[in-house]
Amino acid sequence: MSLALNQSAIATAVSRLADQIFQAAGHETIDLVGIRSRGDEVAERVAAELRGKGAQVRFGVLDISLYRDDLAHLSSNPKLQSSEIDFPIDESRVILVDDVLFTGRTIRAAFDALFDYGRPRVVELAVLIDRGHRELPISPTYVGEYLQTARLDHVVVSLEKTDGKDAVEIISKQ
Amino acid sequence: MARKDFLDIVSLDREEIIHLLDQAVPFKELFTRSVKKVPALKGKTVLMLFYEPSTRTLSSFEVAAKRLSADVTIFDVPHSSVTKGESVRDTIDTLQAMRADYIVVRHQLAGQPAAIARQTGASVINAGDGAHAHPTQGLLDAFTFREVCPEMAGRKVVIMGDVLHSRVARSTSTILDKLGVEVAFCGPGSLVPRTRFKRFTNYEEAMKWGPDVVYLLRVQKERMDQSFFPSDREYHNVYGITEERLKRIAGEGIYVMHPGPINRGVELCDGVLDYERCLISRQVENGIAARMSVLYDLKPQVS
Amino acid sequence: MNLFLQGGEVATEDGAPTRADVWIVDGTIKAVGVRDAPEGTRVVDCAGKIVMPAMFDAHVHFREPGQEQKETIRDGTEAAINGGITGVVMMPNTAPSIDSATVVNRVLEIGKKCRIPVLTSGCITVGRKGVEMAPIAGMKKAGVLMLTDDGDAVPNAALLKRAMEYALEFDMFFASHCEDPQLAGPRALNEGPVSYRLGIQGTPALAEEICMDRDIRIAHATGMHLHIQHVSSAIGMETIRWWKSRGAKVTAEVAPHHLMFRDEDIGDYDTHYKMNPPLRTAEDNAALLQGLKEGVFDLIATDHAPHTEFEKSQAFVDAPNGLSGLDTALVSLYDRFICNGDFGWDLLVKRYSAEPRRMMRLEVAEVAEGKGADLLVFDPRKETTFTKEFMKSKSSNTPFLNKTLKGSVEMVVLGDEILLER
């Protein structure tokens, strides 16, 4: 197991995301929707930095368990949590936020979940880490950090609120 | 490893129950969305096998299954008194061929859903078997109770009415007990058996015990004909929520629950339905969320 | 009112009567003891007579509502007074049956207008049909304590059990007319040599005994107090004795006619000896008397069952069951048993006055200082001839019709009223 990103590297990646999003937003309100789990914590930190820069931020959380394409193949379903999007989705520019972008299937499920809430004008994607190996044609709009990984590597993201510490570790299947 | 079947409350431990209750919360939130459906059970088949007629429970399960994007089939079973064992056997063979993923069973004989569960890889959900169990009702009752009394331990619920013949009384008392709630039974001496729970045959005594919730059971006319108690009128006067008793219940802020369908003028007077702490319609609403939670949680063993 | 009963003997539940005078002022007994008559009292000569608490009959049929040609509540209470009785419990097999608060209230209203207090039992099942439980809680509220389908047993054991479980909450008790319906036959007479001779199907004592055992078991299992009515057989008496020894909450009554008469007395189809349960054998008479003396029977009750002369003149099988007992009971018990020394006044006072009142949760009548006057004066040296005119019951269906017996009820005092004075 190797430490790919430590606490300060993560903080840097978060700031990078916040900067990119801030510049692209102009004076528009920024709508962030974090994908559980951990995408919501990343979104919280990004939202805090954006507010620090003086931006108007609306914040929501999406649980995509019900939209996964692999439910039938799991021996037990993932723990279902609430989704909370209390601002109107219709005609808004939604930025989905997740911790790791990998095959793209989670984001595909997030699209389905999001579109059951309404019809956004534009959907963008912000990820803390892009580790490559896409299986669907999905590309991120904003990236915090790029990570070189092998397909079978296991990337473990730990965040303070969810896991008690900040770290991104790679476990190689060699 | 998830369960295949949901047959009763007795076999669940406290953690599982809390998990199912917690899981019902996001399902309830879906009701406020314009798109109430989620694709979790897309492509799966849910079969309704109701040997005892029921519109409420049947439609509650139907809505729950459809909101999970499952395909729902209502299997036409004969409601007349058929040779008990045989018809179920034949049905099971048909079910195998249909390759249903989930089967929701209601039967007048206790133990039938379990018998079916043993003979099929589909996930079997007990929608009520004889006087034995009605676990999804227990779940939605616990869910509703938790909404109004979040700190459940130490709270008191008195279940009133024909406890002897009620699967709802059994499932709901069991689930509340596992959650640390104090449960008591109250009703005519001929309809309240001696169990490990406190037993009252006097309404005033039961209320002196200080319940937070009065849970009313439906009074069945068949029991009157079978001489378990005299008449509707006497039942209402001695054990029902009369207008007079409703005033005191309202004064103390006690909640009233009922699994439905209600008998106006028997176990309760009309005024109860307008009482602001009457949770009956909330129970119905929560029924769908609770059943979605169960359907989402089970894993069939179909190849 | 200022009455001085002078020279008599006062009888109580315990021991032999003792010589004492009784002074009653305005309905209360001011003094009991040997003394001179106080100034200004009305002196009643009771020398050689017995002054005792008035009787109480816990099993009477007053036929109102529905069959007032046989008896009315008013006439029934007058017959009671005539026999030295100041309290009764009516049975509910009227038409309509006393099976709801409405009918209870109606009969109690009528009772309030009579000269003695009237209580009523209530049916266990609607119409005594044995199918549906009667509104028991409602009847309790109207003043009923005893539940019985008297006239019939409750054939369905499950119903009886559930009714007992239900009624426990309301602090009532049950009374059983014990009779297995399938063994009852035409309910004409006892099965034995007499029924054979007369050529009529008899009812074996078994019919009563089986039902008695069943009812006591059900009551014992549910914790309900059960009172067995009109016990007629030796084995019946033994059954009750056995269950009492096991601590069952069971009480029982015996009727004077089952102590005195037997099936042989029917003779040539005399319907005056036709009742239900029927008269049985001399052995049964003896065993029942023994049971009374031992205390197996808690009380004596007549099962007063008036029927018109016309009805009783029907063919034996068709004639209705029962005898009119209130006018004659006390005198006949004296004549048959106290005169012979079979038992004393103390047993009579206990079993026909005190215990019945206790069972109905009333205050016991006592000839004692400070108590309300509720007493009778009995003259053992006089005789009574029970003519139709003498008897106050509307009906006169009794084996004692036109017979003369030793003893006479001379006076009955209740509160500040002299209800009877001969």
Q: Is residue B5 part of a domain?
A: no
Q: Is C43 exposed, middle or buried (0-12, 13-18, 19+ CB in 10 A)?
A: middle
CB pairs under 8 A between B and C: 53
CA B99 to chain centroid, in Å, comes to 27
Q: Is residue B92 part of a domain?
A: yes
Q: Is residue B222 part of a domain?
A: yes
Contact A76 B33 (CB under 8 A): no
Enter the pTM of the model. Answer: 0.85
Q: Is residue B163 part of a domain?
A: yes
- Do residues C349 and C414 share a domain? no
Report chain A residues whose CB lies below 8 A from the CB of B296: 66, 77, 80
If one counts the domains in chain B, the total is: 2
Contact B299 A116 (CB under 8 A): no
pLDDT at B34: 80
pLDDT at B32: 85
Range of the domain at A115: 7-72+81-151
Range of the domain at C186: 54-359
Report chain B residues whose CB lies below 8 A from the CB of C100: none
Q: Is residue A161 part of a domain?
A: no
CA distance B209 to chain A (A): 37
pLDDT at A74: 86
- SS3 readout for A5-59: ECHHHHHHHHHHHHHHHHHHHCCCCEEEEEECCCHHHHHHHHHHHHHHCCCCEEE
pLDDT at B75: 82
Report chain C residues whose CB lies below 8 A from the CB of B230: 126, 132-138, 166
- Do residues C38 and C93 share a domain? no
Long-range pairs of C72-76 with CB within 8 A, sequence gap ≥ 24? C72/C394, C73/C107, C73/C110, C73/C111, C73/C114, C73/C118, C74/C110, C74/C113, C74/C114, C75/C392, C75/C393, C75/C394, C76/C304, C76/C306, C76/C326, C76/C393
Whether A117 has its CB under 8 Å from any CB of chain B: the answer is yes
Tokens standing for residue A16: 């990078």
- Do residues C79 and C7 share a domain? no
Q: Is residue C152 part of a domain?
A: yes
Q: Residue ranges of the alpha helices (H) in C223-254?
A: 234-245
Inter-residue contact C134 to C113 (CB < 8 Å): no
Tokens standing for residue A86: 């209390």
C193 cis-preceded (ω within 30 degrees of 0): no
- Do residues B279 and B141 share a domain? yes
If one counts the domains in chain A, the total is: 1
Give C353's DSSP letter: I
- Do residues C295 and C265 share a domain? yes
Rounded to whole angstroms, how far apart are CA atoms B99 and B45? 8
Contact B2 A75 (CB under 8 A): yes
Chains that touch C (3 or more CB pairs under 8 A): B
Rounded to whole angstroms, how far apart are CA atoms C370 and C130? 46
Among B67-81, C183-197, C408-422, which stretch is predicted with the lowest mean pLDDT? B67-81
Classified as helix, coil or strand, C251 is strand
Q: Is residue C400 part of a domain?
A: no
φ, ψ dihedrals at B297, nearest 5°: -85, -25
- Do residues C40 and C159 share a domain? no
Q: Is residue B2 part of a domain?
A: no
Q: Is A73 exposed, middle or buried (0-12, 13-18, 19+ CB in 10 A)?
A: exposed
Rounded to whole angstroms, how far apart are CA atoms C317 and C279? 15
Q: Which CATH number covers residue C151?
A: 3.20.20.140
CA distance A118 to chain B (A): 8
Q: Are strands C50-53 and C42-45 parallel, antiparallel or unpaired?
A: unpaired
For the stretch C87-146, pLDDT in tens is: 999 999 999 999 999 999 999 999 999 999 999 999 999 999 999 999 999 999 999 999
Distance (Å) of CA B85 to CA B7, B24, B108, B169, C209: 19, 35, 12, 26, 42
Contact C133 B201 (CB under 8 A): no
Residue C301 identity: A
**Mutation to test the B interface, candidates A66, A71, A83, A111, most B Cβ within 10 Å:** A66
- Do residues B152 and B270 share a domain? yes
Q: Is C185 exposed, middle or buried (0-12, 13-18, 19+ CB in 10 A)?
A: middle
Q: Is residue B276 part of a domain?
A: yes
Tokens standing for residue C77: 């209470």
If one counts the domains in chain C, the total is: 2
Whether B250 has its CB under 8 Å from any CB of chain A: the answer is no
Chains that touch A (3 or more CB pairs under 8 A): B
Q: Is residue C398 part of a domain?
A: no
Q: Is residue C88 part of a domain?
A: yes
Task: Taking residues C245-258, report their average pLDDT.
Answer: 97
- Do residues C37 and C67 share a domain? no
The overall average pLDDT reported for chain A is 93
For the stretch C294-329, pLDDT in tens is: 999 999 999 999 999 999 999 999 999 999 999 999
Q: Is residue B54 part of a domain?
A: yes
Rounded to whole angstroms, how far apart are CA atoms C139 and C126? 12
Distance (Å) of CA C283 to CA C41, C204, C231, C289, C391: 51, 15, 14, 10, 31
For the stretch C202-243, pLDDT in tens is: 999 999 999 999 999 999 999 999 999 999 999 999 999 999
Rounded to whole angstroms, how far apart are CA atoms A161 and C321? 91
pLDDT at B229: 87
φ, ψ dihedrals at A5, nearest 5°: -135, 135
Contacts of C328 (CB under 8 A, 6+ apart): C83, C386, C391, C398, C400, C405
| One pLDDT digit (tens) per residue for chain B, 303 residues | 689 999 999 999 999 999 999 999 999 999 888 889 999 999 999 999 998 888 899 999 999 999 999 999 988 776 544 455 556 667 777 777 778 899 999 998 899 899 899 888 999 999 999 999 999 999 999 999 999 999 999 999 999 999 999 999 999 999 999 999 999 999 999 999 999 999 999 999 999 999 999 999 998 777 667 788 888 899 999 999 999 999 999 999 999 999 999 999 999 999 999 999 999 999 999 999 999 999 999 999 865
Contacts of B23 (CB under 8 A, 6+ apart): A79, A80, B293, B296, B297
- Do residues C290 and C302 share a domain? yes
- Do residues C157 and C225 share a domain? yes
Contact B26 A63 (CB under 8 A): yes
- Do residues B279 and B140 share a domain? yes
- Do residues C156 and C143 share a domain? yes
Inter-residue contact C68 to C393 (CB < 8 Å): no
Range of the domain at B227: 136-283
pLDDT at B81: 45
Q: Which CATH number covers residue A120?
A: 3.40.50.2020
Q: Is residue A129 part of a domain?
A: yes
Q: Is residue A124 part of a domain?
A: yes
